[in-house]
Amino acid sequence: MGRLLCALLLFWSMAAQAVIETYQFDSPELRDRYNVFVKELRCPKCQNQNLEDSNAGVAADLRREVHRLLHEGYSDDEIYDYMVARYGEFVLYRPKASGITLYLWLAPAVLLVLAVGTVAVIVRRSSRQSDDLVTDSQAKERLQRVLDSAQEESEKP
């Protein structure tokens, strides 16, 4: 009975800590835009959570700020620009491909090309070395035949 009571208290305390934010919107379009923003903006405190999933205080502040900006009539680009100006490119899950972010977007492709090239060079070198080994073994056989024939000639009276 005590375990059941502890489990119920634990679940009750977790529900009490959950934050449920309800914002009023003038239109369904504003609500839809808000939902897009809270899914596409990253919480600056949480490493890999969007504003919708984060319970951090700064995420709550940003959700409130997005709600305010939407009600003041800001466009989507203006809201994104405002967030980037305040928190940097990190706040965007999909940063714009410009400047330093271009290197980040292209780095995986460049690394893949380098890896494929390295593997090709290694495979080509190993095949050449095996060809050289065959050539060396053939040369050793010829040398051994020459030595054997020279030894036979020297043994003849």
How does pLDDT run across 39-60, given as a tens digit for each residue? 888 888 887 888 888 888 888 8
The candidate with the shortest Cα–Cα distance to 39, out of 21, 59, 56, is 59
Sequence-distant contacts of 119-126: CB under 8 A, at least 24 apart: none
Q: What angle do CA 59, 101, 107 make, to 5 degrees?
A: 120
CATH 1.10.1060.10, domain 23-96, yes or no = no
DSSP state of 73: T
| Average pLDDT, rounded, for the chain | 80
Three-state helix/strand/coil letters over 18-61? CCCCCCCCCCHHHHHHHHHHHHHEECCCCCCCECCCCCCHHHHH
Strand-pairing partners, residue 136, are none
pLDDT value for 134 = 57
| Interval 122-135: pLDDT, tens | 988 887 766 555 56
| Residue 76, pLDDT above cutoff 80 | yes
* Residue ranges per structural domain of the chain: 23-96, 97-157
